[in-house]
Amino acid sequence: MSTLLILLPAHPPQSGTAQDYEYWFSHDAQAPAHARGHGERAPLSALPRADRVMALIGDDQLSWLPAQLPKVKGGKLRGAVVGVMEDQLLEDPERLHFALLDSPDADGRTHWVAVTAREPLRAHLQAIEAAGLLVESLLPLSWPQPASGSADGGYVHAGADGRARLRVSRADGVATFPLDSGGLRNWLGEDWWQQAPVSASPAAAAEAEQWLGRPVRVLSDTDRAWAARQAPVNLLQFDLTPRQRGWQRLYQAWQTLQTPAWRPFRWGVVGLVAVQVIGLNAMAWQQGRAIDARKAEQEALLRQSFPQVRVVRDARAQMVRETEALRGGAGQVGPGDLEDLLAAVARATPPGEPPLPGLRFEPGRLQLSGLSAPQRAQLRDRLGRDPALRVAEDGDALQLSLRPENR
């Protein structure tokens, strides 16, 4: 799955000028191997197209501030953030963009809030969108670490003025200091000084090792940019939330499933589907065999009981018809005959009632007409208690028949 990382410059793009952006591109979601550890540079229109596009924001453009937030969601959340943090901000909140770290501190209410200038960020995102690139996330290069403290560390890099600077990421915040600042060792503490994992850019590695008195891990710009993909926060929040976020998440999930790390899962799903399909086909085959065997038994029983039947189309229906013919020829009363339905009416008629005014019988159905409304209602209620009968009103008449399952 191809991936494109774009580092946003500190200054917004100028209209009419093609600004170069530093970027990293990989065809297979593996860290690209660029010479000297730097990304390539090109205007947005010349950037390669990728399945996933992520923007990176530099440490010097982002601040992390703690905030005690009330339990509100949706459109009110940004207003709550502004209200809580207004005294900590040096600029008008309307000129700033805020984003919350996904997981709060142990008390459940203290959140880390990322703060950056809104207009430069918006201008960069609009320029990227105008170039036909869909940014799925905006990621920081550093962020506050979990409260465990085991991941507390720092990154040393050479500043624009040539002075080495230390970017510290700890549970109590993120900050940048000149490496030669007085009292820095006391502020960091001896445990951090001796044990904290510290990395450095190639240009600042020697100075960082001399300052710490121990080896540091050399981390190129490419390595650090690629590591930012693991950031626990997407800074595209509130008014910068992508409008297609639902579809984007589905697309991201689909793209993630295409990566080599998910190959065992994909094969497992394919195997599961194959087993289900084979199992369903086997079950359908067995059910078909059982139905065919049942039909063969019915046909054999029909031919054995009624040898005169030459052609079998529906063994069950033909057996019912032959049985009814034999019963009728023997003069026996069967279900749905006139005598059977009249007996049901006689059982439902209260003693002392006058004879029924009108009767009409068709095979399987008896119609009672000429009844008064009270008589009709009384008979309908009493006959309706018999589970073998179906009673329906037809104007001032009652239609009485057997239910299909009782015929």
Domain ranges of the chain: 1-143+231-258, 144-219, 260-332, 335-402
Considering only CA atoms, which of 237, 240, 228 is closest in space to residue 5?
228
166-182 confidence digits (pLDDT tens): 999 888 888 898 888 87
Residue ranges of alpha helices (H) inside 93-178 are: 118-130
Predicted pLDDT at 404: 67
Within 13 Å of residue 254, how many CA atoms lie on the same side as its CB?
A: 7
Transcribe 176-236 into DSSP letters: EEETT-TTHHHHH-HHHHHHS-EEE-TTTHHHHHHHHTS--EE--HHHHHHHGGG-S----
* Tokens 């010349």 sit on residue: 46
Predicted pLDDT at 51: 84
Domains 1-143+231-258 and 335-402 belong to one CATH topology? no
Predicted pLDDT at 332: 62
Fold of 335-402: Gyrase A; domain 2 (3.30.1360)
pTM of the entire structure?
A: 0.59
Question: Which CATH number is 1-143+231-258's, of 2.40.10.220, 3.20.20.80, 3.30.420.380, 3.30.2310.20?
Answer: 3.30.420.380
Is residue 235 within 8 Å of 138, Cβ to Cβ?
yes
CA gap 334, 325 in Å, rounded: 11
Residues 6+ away with beta carbon under 8 Å from 11: 120
Average pLDDT, 10 consecutive residues per value, the chain (407 residues): 90 83 86 70 91 92 88 80 84 90 62 92 92 91 73 82 88 86 84 89 91 91 91 90 64 70 88 93 92 88 82 81 72 66 79 76 79 81 81 81 68
Helix (H) or strand (E) holding 22: strand 20-26
Predicted pLDDT at 140: 95
